[in-house]
């Protein structure tokens, strides 16, 4: 009988934090300050320090972080924002919800991140911003992207939902552009006990704008300078996140160790392991391999008791809701090919060496 290895299992992690987390939740309950307030302010301070930015603004989710950041740019309907098509829906969804136009660029087939050379080809006189995604825990090529943005007078907003703590040339994700957006969805490296997110920036004016936009453009004054949304962070989430932030580097180290084991165990097989650029330090939110006959491989892994997932089976430019953009099939070849080959393996910090060996052994048996 084979081993059972889940794609994700944070039960052991919770047990190690249980008393500390419950005390943090109790302290919020005792204050009866549930929305924003001291717990959120304290977490924001710690988060900004961690991300090497001057400011962090807690919001209600990673999706709302992107939306709030896009709103702060005063995007006009019809203006364009360049982003990848190989990403979670929220990246382009935030752009489209404001009436702006997502313009999809292809990816570097090795890193899965947006290809700076392809960005340049897609700039028009309607382009306002670039939104690179630091996919699977590895930063995009930010020097090249920022150089293009500077040349064309464009804003850059990082979608760092999967990359808290990742480094590019020694600098943290979220500190590499005007602003960086984070998600604390429970499955992330730093996960809340529900939805939560944040926007980090070194720009004081932008930080003030984010704070106003998250409370309907007023910042709680009842004088509305702009139309915002209800993007406030809950104090309970901030309290939980503050506890967990103290363990984040330890969890990153475990993920990186697990990734190194996989790299070694899958060497010289038909499995294409993740490529990390030399200037990058990945936090492996996902460990994503490429395999032929992906769907069949995934099914056979499941039969062997191994959990896996596909991020992402259908690129955004092929989604029904974006049919109006008329992006021709085949125009983003690296993106479309990746969608048919990628497979995420278990990588969470509490995995044991025998579990990793079992996953690699089963994958090699199936793929060769």
pLDDT in tens, 57-116: 999 999 999 999 999 999 999 999 999 999 999 999 999 999 999 999 999 999 999 999
- Residue 141 binned pLDDT confidence (cut-offs 50, 70, 90): very high
Residues 6+ apart with CB under 8 A from 158: 131, 132, 133, 134, 140, 142, 173, 174, 176, 177, 179, 180, 181
Radius of gyration in angstroms for the set of CA atoms belonging to the chain, rounded to a whole number: 21
- Residue 219 binned pLDDT confidence (cut-offs 50, 70, 90): confident
pLDDT digits (tens, 9 = 90+) for 6-46: 999 988 888 999 999 998 899 888 888 878 888 899 999 99
- 3-class DSSP state for residue 39? helix
Give CA angle at 167 (166, 173), nearest 5°: 65
CA distance 87 to 160: 11
94-102 long-range CB contacts below 8 Å, 24 or more apart?
94/63, 94/66, 94/67, 94/69, 94/70, 95/70, 95/131, 96/321, 96/322, 97/67, 98/67, 98/70, 98/71, 99/75, 100/70, 100/75, 100/76, 100/128, 101/126, 101/325, 102/316, 102/322, 102/325
- Residue in the structure block whose two tokens are 């039969």: 303
- Residue 1 binned pLDDT confidence (cut-offs 50, 70, 90): low
The pLDDT, as a whole number, for residue 195 is: 96
Measure the N-to-C terminal CA separation of the chain; round to a whole number of Å: 21
More confident residue, 28 or 206: 206
- With contact defined as beta carbons under 8 Å apart, do 67 and 296 qualify? no
The two structure tokens encoding residue 146: 């920022």
Q: Could you give the count of Cα atoms lying within 13 Å of 56 in the half-sphere of its Cβ? A: 28
89 by Cβ neighbours in 10 Å (0-12 / 13-18 / 19+) ranks as middle
- 3-class DSSP state for residue 207? helix
CA distance 146 to 353: 40
Whether cis (ω within 30° of 0) applies to the bond prior to 312 is: yes
The pLDDT, as a whole number, for residue 190 is: 96
Q: Which of 235, 251, 196, 193 is nearest to 13 (CA)?
A: 251
- With contact defined as beta carbons under 8 Å apart, do 62 and 182 qualify? yes
pLDDT digits (tens, 9 = 90+) for 289-322: 999 999 999 999 999 999 999 999 999 999 999 9
The two structure tokens encoding residue 365: 């048996």
The pLDDT, as a whole number, for residue 173 is: 98
Look up residue 234 and give its DSSP letter: B
pLDDT > 60? residue 117: yes
CA distance 192 to 195: 7
The two structure tokens encoding residue 71: 């709103």
More confident residue, 220 or 316: 316
The pLDDT, as a whole number, for residue 368 is: 79
* CB-CB neighbours of 85 under 10 Å: 29
- Residue 210 binned pLDDT confidence (cut-offs 50, 70, 90): very high
β-bridge mates for residue 80, sequence order:
101, 127
- With contact defined as beta carbons under 8 Å apart, do 179 and 206 qualify? yes
Mean pLDDT of the chain: 95
CA 233, 235, 240, 243 torsion-angle sign:
positive
């Amino acid at each position: 009988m084979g081993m059972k290895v889940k794609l994700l299992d944070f039960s052991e992690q919770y047990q190690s934090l249980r008393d500390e987390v419950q005390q943090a939740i109790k302290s919020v309950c005792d204050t009866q300050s549930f929305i924003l307030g001291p717990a959120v302010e304290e977490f924001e301070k710690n988060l900004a320090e961690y991300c090497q930015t001057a400011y962090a603004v807690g919001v209600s989710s990673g999706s709302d972080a992107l939306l709030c950041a896009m709103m702060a740019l005063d995007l006009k309907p019809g203006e364009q924002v360049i982003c990848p098509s190989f990403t979670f829906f929220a990246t382009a969804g935030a752009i489209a919800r404001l009436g702006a136009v997502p313009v999809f660029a292809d990816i570097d087939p090795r890193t899965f991140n947006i290809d700076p050379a392809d960005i340049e080809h897609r700039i028009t006189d309607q382009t306002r911003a670039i939104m690179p995604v630091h996919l699977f825990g590895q930063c995009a090529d930010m020097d090249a992207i920022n150089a293009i943005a500077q040349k064309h007078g464009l804003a850059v907003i990082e979608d760092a939902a999967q990359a808290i703590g990742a480094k590019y040339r020694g600098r943290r994700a979220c500190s590499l552009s005007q602003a960086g957006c984070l998600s604390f969805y429970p499955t992330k490296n730093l996960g809340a006990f529900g939805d939560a997110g944040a926007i980090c920036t070194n720009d004081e004016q932008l930080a003030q704008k984010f704070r106003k936009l998250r409370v309907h453009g007023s910042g709680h004054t009842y004088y509305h300078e702009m139309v915002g949304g209800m993007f406030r962070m809950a104090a309970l989430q901030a309290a939980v996140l503050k506890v967990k932030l103290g363990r984040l580097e330890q969890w990153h180290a475990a993920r990186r160790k697990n990734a190194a084991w996989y790299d070694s165990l899958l060497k010289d097989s038909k499995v294409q392991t993740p490529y990390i650029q030399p200037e990058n330090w990945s936090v492996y939110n996902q460990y994503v391999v490429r395999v032929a006959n992906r769907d069949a491989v995934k099914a056979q892994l499941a039969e062997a008791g191994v959990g896996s997932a596909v991020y992402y089976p259908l690129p955004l430019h092929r989604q029904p809701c974006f049919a109006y953009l008329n992006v021709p099939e085949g125009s983003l070849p690296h993106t479309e090919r990746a969608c048919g080959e990628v497979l995420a393996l278990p990588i969470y910090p509490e995995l044991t060496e025998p579990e990793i060996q079992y996953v690699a052994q089963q994958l090699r048996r199936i793929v060769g």
